[in-house]
Structure formats: structure tokens, C-alpha cells
Amino acid sequence: MGSARPLRIGITCYPSVGGSGILASALGEELARRGHEAHFISYERPFRLPAGAPRLFYHPVVINDYGLFKYPDYTLPLSVKMAEVSRDHALDVLHVHYAVPHATAAILARSMLAPPHRPRVVTTLHGTDTTLLGRDPGYGPAIRHALRQSDAVTTVSAFLERETRELLAVDRRIDVIHNFFEPRPARRTREEVRRELGVGKEALLLHASNLRPLKRIDLLLESVARIRPAQSFKLVILAGADFSPFAPGVRRLGLSDRVVVRENVGDIEDYLQAADLGLFTSDMESFCLSILEAMCFSCPSVATAVGGIPEVVESGRSGLLVPPGDADAIARAVESLVADPGRRQELGREAHRRARSLFSADVIVTKYEELYRRVCAAPETA
Ligand code: GMT
């Protein structure tokens, strides 16, 4: 950063378990560590945000429930809080993660302020804000407007940049800044965690997600049910949502002694370091942060070749990619690595090297800092 003055960045994200919130929290933490101020503005404190860290602040958005409204409104109180924090803390930038409704709220907040108090607005698209909501006629025009009005727009993969241009007809500069992950030290040993999960000599497969339909938990279970020998693995599912709707599927497929579920785990590092292989069966991912989290622990993944995943994993070098929706292909790829620990380790070593060289805080946070400085030096977007 040299001798440039520290920046004051407002960050808005979904604070619950989910890749965009995890990324935004980690970014704020790293910015504060580098001497900047990071002000989180959201309805809850992001769950991985450390308490008491210097230069890291949280400003809650209070939502009142008025009887007149059938649906509670978040966008307006969020924009008012964004304007208030921007003015009171002289924010340079409002950086919003996930366009809906955060980008719209930020544009509104900026227009509420007199010119000297106006922050620049940076919008980071994470995935379904383009690929799902961008197609929705009830959202698309508002997203397109907010992207045009933002001072900078970033996407977490080149795939998502292309999708955004195509689906939202956005003709402006978009910076691709991939996700990063900086693991925290595990709190327990690998052996302790494997003991907790009841894993002996079997290979430990790991899946982590919020279980939404596009994660294809049905396909995940169907695929592991086809792995032979059936006793060669256990699968731990780190569920960021209630797993009970999938429990009948586990029983029906005879997987009750193969699948262990842990819901809403904060210390994912404990499990990541204990795993041998990640397994991700999504129909769509703009990036798939969970794959990167595993790579940081030298754990390669078998994953579907969709969206931005091929930017994260080079198939055959740092993991194995398989066609989407193909339970047999997934099972065969997993079997090949369960049976060959040497090959697994080779892929794991390359996965770790790739994670550190392309997707570390050092590389990625520096890109965000450069972007902030660029938009601050440029004239305001009208
Ligand atoms: O866009 C979403 O579905 C939500 C978002 C989240 O909060 O989990 O996920 C997206 O952002 C992550 C972080 O950038 C990416 O790793 C995920 O691939 C992406 N999800 C999809 O594209 C479906």
C-alpha cells in the first residue's frame, strides 16, 4: 500500500452462512489488518467476523415491522443506515456483496448525501444475483440500473462476467476478482475430528453448502450410494441449513452408516483438515468457495464442471471435474481417488499450490485495494 492514506470502506453482505458473506467478512478482516477501516452494515453481525478487532466495526440495520406492510422492507432502512454511516465515518467506498437489494440500497444512499459525503459504490456480483435474479423480469431492470450506476462492478469469475454481460445487457467495465480464502488454525487435531466423525481407515469425503436446490444434494447422495466398495468412505456434510428434508434420502439409499451431518459449523477448518476429498455436485456455481477452502488444506475435490469451477480447479492437476448430473461419473471419479492415496496427495499438493498462488488474500485483497483507489481517483458516476 506504500504511504497512501488508509481507506474507510463500508461493506454490506448477507451475514448468514453463504459464500458471499464469508468472502465479504474475510475481505473486511484483511482490510482492517492492512490499516484500513471496515464498517459492516447489515441486519446481523456476519457470523465469521471476529469481535474486538481494531478498525473493524459493525452497524446494525434495524427493521421495524409495520402492520400496514404485508412484507417487511429491508432496502429502505439499509439505505438510510448506509447514508448515515457514510456521512458519520466519512466512508470512501460502499462495497456491496450480492446485488439484491444491496446495490440498489447503496445507489439510493449515495443520492441521499451531499456531494462531499458521497462514497463511491462498488458492487460485487457473486452468482445468482446474475444467473437467477438477473433473468427475473421483477428484478433484472433494477439490477441493471444499479450496475450502471455503480462506480465499479466486479464478478468472482470470468464466467460470471460473461453471464452478466449477456443476461443483464451490461455494457461497462467489469473487473474479474476471484474469491480468496485464508484459513484460520484448526482447533482440534485431524485425529480428534476423525474420531468424532467415527472415521477409521476409510477415506473421508466432505461436502459443504447451504443445501439449496442447485447444490443437488439428491445427486450427491445418489452418487455416493454408487461408490464401491461401499465401506471405503464416509461422507461428512457441513450443512449451512436444516438437513432434515434430506434425511429420508439418506435412509432410502442405505447410507445411514456412511453419512455424517454437522449443521451450521463455524470452525470449518477443523473438518477441512480432516478430509481427504471434497465432493461438489452443483448444477451451477459462479466460483464455489467451498472447493477453494478445501484446496487450502491440500484436499482436492471431485466437482461438476459448471460455471466458474474450471477457473478454480484444473481437472487432472488440482482435482477432477466431471459432467454435471452424472452420478456414475461422479462415483467412478471418487472411487479412483479413494483407491489411490498417492494420486490424491499429488492433486492435493497442486490444489494447495494453486490456492496460495492465485486465490490468497495477498493476491486478491491487493486487487480490491487497487480498485478502491482507482474509483476514488475517478470522477463520480453521474
Ligand atoms: O449467488 C448465490 O447463490 C449466493 C452466494 C452465497 O452467498 O453463497 O453464492 C455465490 O457466491 C459464492 C461466493 O462468491 C460462490 O462461491 C458461489 O459459487 C456462488 N453461488 C452460485 O453461483 C450458485
pLDDT tens sequence across 21-57? 999 999 999 999 999 999 999 999 998 898 899 999 9
The tens digit of pLDDT for each residue in 117-161 reads 999 999 999 999 999 999 999 999 999 999 999 999 999 999 999
Tell me how far the alpha carbon of residue 23 lies from the centroid of ligand 1, in angstroms: 10
Distance 143 CA to ligand 1 centre (A): 17
The residue whose CA is least distant from atom 19 of ligand 1 is: 127
- The residue ranges of every structural domain in the chain are 8-180+360-377, 190-358
Q: Cα of 211 to ligand 1 centre, how many Å?
A: 12
Check: CB of residue 219 under 8 Å from CB of residue 281: yes
Atom from ligand 1 closest to the CA of residue 21 = 7
Q: Is the CB of 265 under 6 A from ligand 1?
A: no
CA of 282 to the centre of ligand 1 (A): 11
Ligand 1 near 61 CB (within 6 A): no
125 lines ligand 1 (CB under 6 A): no
Chain centre distance of CA 190: 25
Closest protein CA for atom 17 of ligand 1: 288
8 A C-beta contact, residue 86 and residue 10: yes
- Kindly state if the Cβ of 19 falls inside 6 Å of ligand 1: yes
* Fold agreement between 8-180+360-377 and 190-358: yes
127 ligand 1 Cβ < 6 A? yes
CA 115 / ligand 1 centre spacing (Å): 34
Which residues fall within 8 angstroms of residue 319, CB to CB, at 6 or more apart?
278, 291, 295, 300, 301, 302, 303, 313, 347, 351
What pLDDT sits at residue 3? Answer: 65
Query: Nearest to residue 347, comparing CAs of 283, 297, 309?
Result: 297
Q: What is the pLDDT of residue 1?
A: 46
How many angstroms is it from 127 CA to the middle of ligand 1?
5
Residue 312 CB less than 6 A away from ligand 1: no
Q: What is the pTM of this model?
A: 0.96
Residues of the chain with pLDDT under 50: 1-2
Q: How far apart are the first and last CA of the chain?
A: 29
Fold exhibited by the domain 8-180+360-377: Rossmann fold (3.40.50)
The CATH fold of domain 190-358? Rossmann fold (3.40.50)
Taking alpha carbons only, the member of 82, 96, 81 closest to residue 129 is: 96
pLDDT of residue 155: 98
Q: Give the distance (Å) from ligand 1 centre to CA of residue 289.
A: 8
Instruction: Tell me what pLDDT residue 136 has.
Output: 98
Nearest atom (ligand 1) to Cα of 308? 18
Q: Is the dihedral of CA 337, 338, 340, 343 positive or negative?
A: positive
Count CB atoms within 10 A of the CB of residue 2. 3
